[in-house]
Amino acid sequence: MKATLIIDRKVVFPDGAILQMVVWRLPEMDPERPHGLKYRFY
């Protein structure tokens, strides 16, 4: 089973600042990610 994309959002503000959020739900938890999520916030 593959990871499921929960959110993929990117916002570019008028001043050039960038907000990006990407969150995946993993098919199973592991010691590295006991919450079962893989994420990137920028």
The domain tally of the chain equals: 1
The strand order across the sheet containing 4-12 reads: 4-12, 18-25, 37-41
Per-residue pLDDT 10s for the chain (42 aa) are 799 999 999 999 999 999 999 999 999 998 999 999 999 999
Residue 27: predicted pLDDT:
94
Taking CB atoms within 8 Å and a gap of at least 24, the contacts of 33-40 are 37/6, 38/3
pTM assigned to the model:
0.78
Query: What is the domain range of residue 35?
Result: 4-41
- Report the SS3 class of residue 29: coil
